[in-house]
Structure 1
Amino acid sequence: MSILWTPSGSYRRVEYASESDLESAIVEVQHDLFGANRFYLDVKKKIGAKGGIRNVPDGYLIDLSGREPRLYVVENELAAHDPLRHIAVQILQFSLSFESEPHTVKKVLFDTLNAEDEVKKRCEAYAPRNGYRNLDHLLEHLVWESPFGALVIIDELPENLETVLAKRFQFGVEVLELARFENKNGDRAYHFAPFLADLTDDLGDEGGASPKLSPVSAADVDTVVVPAREEGFQETFIGENCWYAVRLHATMRGQIRYIAAYRVAPVQAITHIAPVKSVEPWKDTGKWCLHFSERAKEIAPVGLIKGGRVKAPQSLRYTTRERLMAAKSLDDIW
């Protein structure tokens, strides 16, 4: 049993009473769970062609956090319901419904936005700023032109769920774990990793000497930066022309073209970059191995600034090759 300890008392992990209970929690924490400029539509309407496969997604997530908008179909699930097969079947059916009857999906989105004035206004403001004529044009792009994406929200992540989804589908399926805790008075707390947070988090705080950079749009990401200890850097990054046991967002895998190594203390700098030839599953771990198309090349060190805004990377980070190659320090990247 997991416990959250606080000075005012302990919280014990508790199960949700039902999927609707989980969905209520999602709505409660949605702003922190999904982040700024992402809008959760808690609507259940049947989609799909008449006479064909028809199903009811648990909701939709409209992502307007970057210059390229994205739409995710949401499947909410409880781990107690033996979710592996069920989730895979549901997501497959959602993708087929999108292909067979996109007009229905667009209508569901349009009708839902008309009932949510604030979200509708945000979408209407976003559209002309990013090259869309109006809300209708934006929705057409999300449904017909954007790559299909799915988001699974589950109370407890099964060990091999991400591996199964990665092997089963070519499109990206993101997974969020939303755990609930309660204290003896019935007060609740939630534990989760915010959606795609490591694409925009600056690894630091607002008190650094350099101003915070505008985040890289998810659509522009083509490079990952990985922290590497000296032994692993020499043996694997340089010696084997690959880097493994990497955790990647499902929607980012197809975009990664370069990998750079941040060498931890005493070097404390990004010193090498390599083009990525392929991204392959790493055993049955839900992680990935990035194979290089050629040996890593040394670049001018992009170092950690003492007292700077950006802290030393502790895990994989996303950026663009253009921003990385123009940087003099980590503060110039994130």
Structure 2
Amino acid sequence: MKALTFKRYGKSPGIGLAQVPRPVLKPNEILVEVHAAAINPVDNMITAGVFKPVLKFQLPAVMGSDLAGVVAEVGSNVTRFKVGDAVFANVFDLGTGSIAEYVAVPEAVAAPKPANLDFVQAASIPMVGLTSWQALKERADLQPGQKVFIPAGSGGIGTFAIQLAKYLGAKVATNTSTANVPLVRSLGADEVIDYKQQAFEKVLHGYDLVLGTIRGDAIEKAVEILKPGGTIISLVGPLDKAFARARRLNVFLEFVFGLMSRKIVRLARKNGVEYSFLFARPEGAQLTEIGKLLESGRIQPVIDRVFAFEQAKEALDYLAQGRAKGKVVIKIR
């Protein structure tokens, strides 16, 4: 079968379509005939080697983690799905990829595709949906009336997280470029900062939560807008000791991640706030709940561009430019 693979880490990862063996199912897996697969910024970070000590791949490796498609085969222990079911799933951190004609997906991480979404729309959801759910609802326990700052509101994470935060009853602030102000307002953002005109740290005050979505010094600046007891949950790093411990990494990596996050952790403590790093995990039960919100229309998928399977490499290059409004999806079938 055909899949998008990378051969090595670094500046020349050798990304391209290749023939790879069709997956052989384990008893607890379903074989999904993939109709669409979405890409995320983490895909380019993986090939660059950013997460090489953490994520284990056997090279060459299939890329991607989001998919939507139809069940083509079921393992002997599968009970929730049957051949012909339309599903969507995230396979991030499971040692496999989604940008392929067929993907073996553990039953526990798959969910029924929302009936009102096509495969392209459904494929755009799993990573951003699960990341937002696990950050805002699970870890932060965001409550009605609380204030959350979601930077880069027009991006893949931002467009979903704004909608979820509003569903949870929070007041949402975001920043974006002038051209994207109408988009983020339409998603429910209460306060929108044009980053070309104003610095968010000069405008926002007394916030309960910041969702870290931008690399660089934005995380450190975000400390200034939080009230005492507030929280920063970063999706882009730096990785911290707690993350290393949760993944049972060795003492050396725990030390390294501690050094990487030392500056932001100290700054957070000085200001009476908490910092943590989040790696989203595949979770079928949560994805099912997210699917219900999509079916009810409470949350809408936001898609920037759809690329053909043969243009998968171009899709990654486009995403790397950082200008996508919503998600970038690859149509497999």
TM-score (ref. length: structure 1)? 0.24
Return the index of the structure with the highest Cα Rg.
1
Q: Which has the higher contact order (CA 8 A, sep 6+)?
A: 2
TM normalised by structure 2 equals 0.25
